[in-house]
Structure 1
Amino acid sequence: MKPFKKWFGSKTEGDDTASRLSADNIPNHVAVIMDGNGRWAQKRSLPRVAGHHSGMKNVKKITMAANNIGVQVLTLYAFSTENWKRPKEEVEYLMKLPLEFFPKEIDELISNNVQIRMTGWKEGLPDYTLKAIQDAIDQTKHNTGLILNFALNYGSRKEMLSGVQRLVQDARDQKVNAEEIDEALFSKYLLTDPLPDPDLLIRTSGELRISNFMLWQLAYSELWFTELCWPEFTEEHFYEAVLEYQRRARRYGGL
């Protein structure tokens, strides 16, 4: 087994499991539905926002864990188009988290060659949220390592409908021939282009559903669910998910 390059520290949680991974079969793209922040807090008689704050702190740990083993893209489902239905105070708190996260962590992310991206709609997001994210994107745009992609104000059905609308308009404008439309072309009309489809999806909190997340892109992804809430999901658990991924045979409909 090829040794992994350590990008941070000398000894971290999960090193033992990481050492069991095959370096030749690391998922290129891991997507995570970071669920259970509020429930984690409520179990501890804390306000829901305390769970979101703890969840935010966990983002860097899992990012570094992914970077440690050579994952190329880590997409984190941070806020869905349906999350606007939550209480106003909770939404406002979530919108302010990037203002705390990026200034505190950006130097370490840069030193680890991490590139920040966002997948989602900017419309509706507060200006201060967009500025914090755009500043992080600008500061890391020349980095060539792990892509840390935040799915923010994102919903897959809206994404696909928008893609179909743009594709139809391009066909009307004779920029695209109907006979040329295939899966590869349609993928270019999605918000995730040019990122590869996820190889592995992880969802925390015990829920066994996709929740309108990358419905097109997850067609052949391996799914891994855990009862753990996001704030208690450690590097060790992340490596366990990757190890399970490596045990599976991906046939894509073949034998």
Structure 2
Amino acid sequence: MKKHKLNHIAYIMDGNGRWATKKNKPRNVGHLEGAKVIPKVIDYAINENIKYLSLFAFSVENWNRPKLEVEYLLQLLIDHLTNKTKKYLNKKNIKLNWIGFETNLNPLIVRKIKSVVESTKDNKGIIVNIFFNYSGTKDIENAFEKILDKNFSKKISNIKELLLTSELPPIDLLIRTGNEKRISNFALYDLAYSEIIFEEALWPDYNELNFNSNVKEYYNRDRRFGKINEQ
């Protein structure tokens, strides 16, 4: 068995807009092409026997983007929340989770997301977590607000229990495509000891060769978790 098995891999899917701009196309074309990569990456993860795959699709800060681009991203999400998607997920035994806040989201979108999630809740294969309308700092702040609420009586041993990511294990490997070197307020608590790869490929270009290279790099790293090498 491989040392420090890659159990949870996460992606900041960056570079859609730049991909489109390089091809003299509207940014929305990049988002559309980027969406097509997601099922491919799910297959890569399944083939590598990875249990958890997390995808950062839309942050709370992304509401600050141009209105038309935000509207397109929301519509793109709606277009994928269909019975066809449910059938695809169930056929592959994929359990889908939504990690995010309902704030600012149209109730229709919330209902559609929850409907797809509900339809896959009993699946036993890979667990795919879509982080949509998510903020790492807001997640932690909300946890403290719950604790400080005078009506809060739940006994907890770790603040993790109050996070939206409470049911997820730590992220072993974070990959950010597009070669931007920041974590953009993503799953801050869960990234404490993650290995991080800043991948040059833009998200629409990300392929199996990139994936295999990233996984190989992960296994070539020495994960010490604060310890020192014991020779």
TM-score interval, smaller chain: over 0.9
CA distance in 1, matches of 2:87, 2:152: 45
1:173 Cα offset (Å): 4.4
Q: Determine the structure 1 residue equivalent to 2:194.
A: 221
Give the aligned residue type for 1:75.
S
TM-score w.r.t. the length of structure 1 is 0.84
Identity %: 41
After superposition, the Cα gap between the structure-2 partners of 1:108 and 1:218, relative to the gap in structure 1 and judged at 3 Å, is same
CA distance in 1, matches of 2:195, 2:211: 14
CA distance in 2, matches of 1:174, 1:221: 32
Matches within 5 A, 1:145-184: 145-169=125-149, 173-176=152-155
8 Å contact kept, 1:115–1:142: yes
After superposition, the Cα gap between the structure-2 partners of 1:127 and 1:254, relative to the gap in structure 1 and judged at 3 Å, is same
1:174 Cα offset (Å): 4.8
Runs (4+) of structure 1 exceeding 4 A deviation are none
CA distance in 2, matches of 1:238, 1:128: 34
1:86 aligns with 2:74: no
Determine which of 220, 224, 228 is the counterpart of 1:251: 224
CA offsets per residue over residues 110-159 of structure 1, 9 Å max, x none? 11110111111012112332233122112111101111100010011111
Q: Which one is further off, 98-107 or 66-75?
A: 98-107
1:143 aligns with 2:116: no
Give the aligned residue type for 1:95.
L
Q: Determine the structure 1 residue equivalent to 2:7.
A: 28
Q: Determine the structure 2 residue equivalent to 1:55.
A: 34
CA offsets per residue over residues 72-131 of structure 1, 9 Å max, x none? 111100000000001111111111122222434432221111011111101211233223
Gaps of 5+ in 1: 2-21
8 Å contact kept, 1:79–1:154: yes
8 Å contact kept, 2:93–2:123: yes
CA distance in 2, matches of 1:166, 1:52: 36
CA distance in 1, matches of 2:206, 2:152: 48
After superposition, the Cα gap between the structure-2 partners of 1:122 and 1:42, relative to the gap in structure 1 and judged at 3 Å, is same
1:25 Cα offset (Å): 5.0
Q: Determine the structure 2 residue equivalent to 1:76.
A: 55
- Is the partner of 2:200 in helix, strand or coil? coil
CA distance in 2, matches of 1:173, 1:79: 30
CA distance in 1, matches of 2:64, 2:113: 22
Q: Determine the structure 2 residue equivalent to 1:210.
A: 183
How many equivalent residue pairs? 227
TM-score w.r.t. the length of structure 2 is 0.92
Q: Determine the structure 2 residue equivalent to 1:18.
A: none
Gaps of 5+ in 2: none
- Is the partner of 2:97 in helix, strand or coil? strand
Q: Determine the structure 2 residue equivalent to 1:128.
A: 108
8 Å contact kept, 1:114–1:144: yes
Give the aligned residue type for 1:234.
N
CA distance in 2, matches of 1:193, 1:173: 18
CA distance in 2, matches of 1:25, 1:114: 23
1:175 Cα offset (Å): 3.7
CA distance in 2, matches of 1:133, 1:54: 21
CA distance in 1, matches of 2:192, 2:4: 19
CA distance in 2, matches of 1:220, 1:205: 22
- Is the partner of 2:191 in helix, strand or coil? coil
CA distance in 1, matches of 2:208, 2:56: 18
CA offsets per residue over residues 162-186 of structure 1, 9 Å max, x none? 111112237x74544xxx75xxx11
